[in-house]
Amino acid sequence: MRGLNKVMIIGYLGRDPEMRYTPAGRPVTSFSVATTRGWTNSNGERREETEWFNVVAWGNLAEICKQRLRKGHQVYIEGRLQTRGWEDAEGKKHFRTELVAQEMIILGGRPQNLEMEQPEMSEEEMPVGEGAIGEELPF
pLDDT at 59: 96
- Specify the DSSP class assigned to residue 43: T
pLDDT more than 70, % of the chain: 78
> How confident is the model over 11-64, as pLDDT tens digits?
999 999 999 999 999 999 999 999 999 999 999 999 999 999 999 999 999 999
pLDDT more than 90, % of the chain: 76
Q: Rg of the chain over CA atoms, in angstroms?
A: 16
- Residue 8 burial (CB count, 10 A): 10
Q: Are 29 and 54 in contact (CB under 8 A)?
A: no
Amino acid at 63: E
Q: Are 5 and 80 in contact (CB under 8 A)?
A: yes
For residues 120 and 4, which has the higher predicted lDDT (pLDDT)?
4
pLDDT at 121: 41
Q: How confident is the model at residue 111 (pLDDT cuts 50, 70, 90)?
A: low
Amino acid at 24: A
Whole-structure pTM value: 0.73
Geometric angle at alpha carbon 106, from 9 and 13, rounded to 5°? 60
Q: For the chain, where are the alpha helices, taking DSSP H only?
A: 59-68
Q: Which domains occur in the chain, in start order? A: 7-125 (2.40.50.140)
